[in-house]
Amino acid sequence: MFTGLVSDVGEVLTVRDEGRIKRVTVACGYPASTIEVGGSLAHAGVCLTIVTVGGLGDRTTVGVDIGAETLAVTTAKNWRPGSRLNLERPLRLGDELGGHIVAGHVDGVAQILECEEFDGMVKLSLRAPAELAKFVAAKGSVALDGTSLTVNSVEGEVFSVLLIPHTLAVTTWGERRAGDFVNIEVDQMARYAARLSEARERS
């Protein structure tokens, strides 16, 4: 489990096809001694299992394998050498839950429609996939590229979020532009609430 609080920005070094999966190597700032093969790391919101740990200069490198299903429903299919990814290590017992509970199981891909800059902040308008729009609620939470954000407004499939200067400085969000696609994971509480509502309507 994760919180949606990005703790590092990694850089894709290599992408290699291995049958139906891709082996991706990412450089990060986490000490190699604190990362174990078999552990998890969220890459742009996608929880991936670490299969190799190494080093490159003063940076740690981690290798992950990405399967066909993940490639089909996330932006991972577009990762290339040089791509920068928001990273987060798994939540540990006793850690502060500063964002919201994020599983790292991306539901789909949202598209940025508009970026409005003001006072050092950026307001983003995005379009959610039709099947996910019902889980996005004003004042609720959503994870976008692994970042826990509060939904400001919702109109149909379009919703908005506000990025403050700190978030822009420590994540990849300062690089995003209209037309870009980002990973979206809806709030688990919203999903359960919607299912309960549907169950009541059927009963």
Q: Within 13 Å and on the Cβ side, how many CA atoms surround 116?
A: 7
Q: How far is CA 111 from the centre of its chain?
A: 13
Distance, in Å, from the CA atom of 49 to the CA atom of 42, rounded to the nearest integer, reads 9
* Domain range list for the chain: 8-88, 108-202
The type of residue at 111 is Q
Distance, in Å, from the CA atom of 24 to the CA atom of 12, rounded to the nearest integer, reads 7
Predicted pLDDT of residue 100? 80
Helix (H) or strand (E) holding 153: strand 147-155
Cβ-count burial of 161 within 10 angstroms (0-12 exposed, 13-18 middle, 19+ buried)? buried
Residue in the structure block whose two tokens are 């839950």 = 97
Please write the tens of the pLDDT for every residue from 27-64.
Answer: 999 999 999 999 999 999 999 999 999 999 999 999 99
Ranges in the chain, pLDDT < 70: 93-99, 190-203
Predicted pLDDT of residue 198? 62
Predicted pLDDT of residue 18? 87
As beta bridge partners, residue 126 has: 112, 159
The third-level CATH classification (topology) of the domain covering 108-202 is Elongation Factor Tu (Ef-tu); domain 3 (2.40.30)
Contact 106, 185 (CB under 8 A): yes
Contact 157, 130 (CB under 8 A): yes
Residue in the structure block whose two tokens are 């995005």 = 126
Domains 8-88 and 108-202 share a fold: yes
The type of residue at 49 is T
Predicted pLDDT of residue 189? 72
Joined tokens for residue 118: 């003001």
Class of domain 8-88 as given by CATH: mainly beta
Cβ-count burial of 198 within 10 angstroms (0-12 exposed, 13-18 middle, 19+ buried)? exposed
